[in-house]
Amino acid sequence: MTIKINFSVDKNKLFYLAKVLNISKSRSVLLKDSKNNLDNVKKMWQRGHKPVLNYLLNKFSGSENYNIKIVIVPEYFFVGACEPIEKLVIYGQPPRCKNFSTAIIIHEITHILLSRITIKRCRIIDEAICFMAENIVYEKLEKKSIREIWKMNELDKFHREALKLSFKFSDYFFVDNSTDIKNIIRLLFENIRSDILKTVPQIGLFKNLHKNITFSKKYFNSRAYLYTKQ
Ligand SMILES: [Zn+2]
């Protein structure tokens, strides 16, 4: 399995996002800010993504080759989301710490990888696994813990429960190199209370995005963090 990552600014998605979120900036400013963010993200990404992606590839060990497109929007959109069918990630976030960008993008790429695995599970299991993958960046590259990054009271119930699961099961993801992703899914599925399994994400602004930017709702994974800093 190989992954190729291609970063770009997509004008259509950018202008649509600005419209949905009532951003009053001109198109030229939006474009300029996206391109600046693109340069920043590329720099951050180059510093540390390879060992993390290799680690993930090891866990997933499938035969598919991925060509993933990362569409960059300005930092003030604060969005990390993915569309697995299109192998697309949308990203725009202020760098909170050294490799913050890489962490969120790794989270979204993990959603894309997971979308190809057909073993029975619930959405919250995928979310927990994505937090575990995100945490690799914090632990291995930044010497931080995901507990320092996310505050429980910032999160909606779905992401909060998923984050808690990631704390509980991260040893299987980190320590045991031989445990592949299918076994981790099975382990989680057999050990989570059914009320937690049934927790689903809140659909807010992403519902509109889905309708209008051709995201498919079935696979759309919001981080519930689409908001603007104006
Ligand atoms: Zn997610």
Q: Distance, CA 95 to ligand 1 centroid (Å)?
A: 18
User: Whole-angstrom Cα distance, residue 139 to residue 19?
Assistant: 37
Q: Distance, CA 108 to ligand 1 centroid (Å)?
A: 6
List pLDDT tens digits, range 71-128.
999 988 878 888 888 898 888 887 777 777 889 999 999 999 999 999 999 999 999 9
Q: Distance, CA 44 to ligand 1 centroid (Å)?
A: 20
List pLDDT tens digits, range 31-62.
999 999 999 999 888 877 888 898 898 889 88
Give the amino acid at 101.
S
User: Whole-angstrom Cα distance, residue 39 to residue 154?
Assistant: 28
Q: Distance, CA 36 to ligand 1 centroid (Å)?
A: 25
What pTM did the predictor assign?
Answer: 0.87
C-alpha radius of gyration, the chain, whole number: 17
Q: Distance, CA 43 to ligand 1 centroid (Å)?
A: 23
